[in-house]
């Protein structure tokens, strides 16, 4: 999203060429969990990162939250470089970026009352008045649909969905510009998932918050996102507007992710089965790819050249949309013309 004058005034977060490695001890080389990740989040926008477990989603979220050291690349918030910010600076940044994680059991301290947990962000670097804190906590809990009777109770007395509402209250109490939701609804029952997703959408409509929404579930992502980034083995495979990526996926990996979403409807299932049979076709490439496309060993379209070509670059496949695939022409030719039914 670009401002009317052509500047990037609407850009909240800019991630440029982000690479994060984990150190595996003295004797082993570091493991590169994500590589050359570049994307932007505009104000009021929901950008999702989707990919199967281990693809590097939480590593990206962690780097933005200051929980993971960045090897190279940069992260800018409102134009200001926050790459590897120190502890003091991080405290100030926490005012602008908050997080909601998968497991509200571990993110809420079981020894703190709900009121104390939600109030905690207010006390970082400040000493608010008691009555102001109480008013703010009660009001914020109200926004997520939790009554004031919860204030003196403990997390263990609440259901998973209610605890996740409390985590959300905690994340929004200082009205951050960006909330990183890392598998925030993944542990919840489907009906409760929908409630929490609707709550996030309402909060966005009220306050213009941006979300970085991390999930392995393509169906959830399609519902909530403006734009989608598809990640595989730490690389961006495809990115673009949610409706395009989810309904007319370009990259073979995106297709296989969609084929993996369970659906109750028979007609839809049939369409997905076709996609799945394509996705299940064995690759001509075997083993781990050191040089080239990391998806090649699982890709029905792969050719030996996919593994010797060096980094596969993202190329444009439509407005605001790109995919990293050397076989894209062939893939798009064989793709069914009809969009995915959800």
Ligand X SMILES: Nc1ncnc2c1ncn2[C@@H]1O[C@H](COP(=O)(O)OP(=O)(O)O)[C@@H](O)[C@H]1O
* Residue among 215, 235, 340 at smallest CA distance from 278: 340
Q: Measured from the CB atom, is 136 or 186 closer to ligand X? A: 186
Task: By CB under 6 A, name the one of 7, 53, 191, 338 that touches ligand X.
Answer: 53
Q: Measured from the CB atom, is 178 or 285 closer to Mg ion? A: 178
- In angstroms, the CA 74 to CA 20 distance is 11
Smallest gap from Cβ 3 to ligand X, in A, equals 32
Task: By CB under 6 A, name the one of 30, 54, 110, 304 that touches ligand X.
Answer: 54
User: Which listed range, 51-59, 102-110, 161-169, 262-270, lies at the site for ligand X (CB under 6 A)?
Assistant: 51-59
Q: Is 74 exposed, middle or buried (0-12, 13-18, 19+ CB in 10 A)?
A: middle
User: Which listed range, 51-59, 157-165, 194-202, 205-213, lies at the site for Mg ion (CB under 5 A)?
Assistant: 51-59
Residue 171 interacting with Mg ion (CB under 5 A): no
Smallest gap from Cβ 76 to Mg ion, in A, equals 23
How many residues line the site for Mg ion (CB under 5 A)?
1
Length of the chain: 342
Smallest gap from Cβ 216 to ligand X, in A, equals 7
Residue 166 binds: one of Mg ion, ligand X, none (C-beta under 5 to 8 A by kind): none
Residue 33 binds: one of ligand X, Mg ion, none (C-beta under 5 to 8 A by kind): ligand X
139: left (phi over 0), alpha (psi -120 to 50) or beta: alpha
Residue 256 binds: one of Mg ion, ligand X, none (C-beta under 5 to 8 A by kind): none
Site string for Mg ion, 58-77 (x = CB under 5 A): x-------------------
Q: How far is CA 321 from the centre of its chain?
A: 17
Helix (H, G, I), strand (E, B) or coil at 64: helix
Residue 21 interacting with ligand X (CB under 6 A): no
Residue 33 interacting with ligand X (CB under 6 A): yes
Instruction: Report strand pairing: 46-50 vs 227-232.
Output: parallel
Smallest gap from Cβ 217 to ligand X, in A, equals 12
The answer for residues whose C-beta is within 8 angstroms of residue 11's C-beta and 6 or more apart is: 1, 40, 41, 42, 43, 79
Smallest gap from Cβ 75 to Mg ion, in A, equals 18
Confirm if 181 and 212 have CB atoms less than 8 A apart: yes
**CA angle, corner 95, sides to 208 and 166, nearest 5?**
75
Residue 48 interacting with ligand X (CB under 6 A): no
The answer for residues whose C-beta is within 8 angstroms of residue 31's C-beta and 6 or more apart is: 21, 22, 24
Residue 51 binds: one of Mg ion, ligand X, none (C-beta under 5 to 8 A by kind): ligand X
Smallest gap from Cβ 49 to Mg ion, in A, equals 10
User: Which listed range, 57-65, 70-78, 241-249, 293-301, lies at the site for ligand X (CB under 6 A)?
Assistant: 57-65
Helix (H, G, I), strand (E, B) or coil at 206: helix
* Residue among 196, 233, 190 at smallest CA distance from 211: 196
Smallest gap from Cβ 57 to ligand X, in A, equals 3
Confirm if 331 and 315 have CB atoms less than 8 A apart: no
Interacting residue ranges for Mg ion, rule: CB under 5 A: 58
Q: Which residues bind ligand X (CB under 6 A)?
A: 22, 31, 33, 51, 53-59
């Amino acid at each position: 999203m670009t401002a009317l004058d052509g500047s990037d005034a609407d850009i909240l977060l800019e991630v440029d060429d982000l690479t994060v490695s984990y150190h595996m001890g003295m004797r082993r080389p570091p493991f590169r969990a994500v590589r050359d990740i570049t994307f932007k989040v505009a104000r009021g926008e929901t950008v999702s990162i989707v990919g199967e477990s281990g693809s590097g989603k939480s590593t990206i979220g962690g780097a933005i939250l200051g929980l993971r050291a960045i090897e190279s690349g940069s992260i800018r918030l409102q134009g200001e470089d926050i790459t590897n910010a120190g502890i003091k600076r991080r405290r100030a940044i926490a005012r602008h970026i908050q997080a909601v994680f998968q497991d509200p059991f571990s993110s809420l301290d079981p020894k703190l009352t709900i009121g104390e947990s939600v109030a905690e962000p207010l006390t970082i670097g400040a000493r608010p008045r008691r009555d102001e804190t109480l008013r703010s906590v009660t009001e914020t809990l109200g926004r997520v649909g939790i009554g004031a009777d919860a204030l003196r109770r403990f997390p263990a007395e609440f259901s998973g969905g209610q605890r996740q509402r409390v985590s959300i209250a905690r994340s929004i109490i200082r009205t951050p510009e960006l909330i990183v939701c890392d598998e925030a609804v993944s542990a919840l029952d489907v009906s409760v998932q929908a409630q929490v997703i609707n709550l996030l959408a309402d909060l966005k409509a009220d306050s213009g918050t941006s979300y970085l929404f991390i999930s392995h579930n393509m169906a959830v992502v399609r519902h909530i996102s403006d734009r989608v980034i598809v990640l595989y083995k730490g690389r961006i495979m495809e990115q673009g507007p949610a409706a395009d990526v989810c309904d007319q996926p370009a990259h073979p990996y995106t297709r296989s992710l969609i084929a993996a979403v369970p659906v109750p409807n028979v007609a839809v299932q049939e369409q997905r089965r076709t996609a799945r049979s394509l996705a299940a076709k064995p690759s001509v490439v075997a083993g781990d790819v050191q040089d080239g496309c990391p998806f090649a060993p699982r890709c029905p379209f792969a050719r030996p050249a996919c593994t010797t070509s060096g980094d596969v670059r993202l190329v444009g496949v439509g407005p605001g949309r790109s995919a990293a695939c050397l076989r894209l022409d062939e893939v798009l030719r064989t793709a069914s013309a009809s969009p995915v039914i959800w």
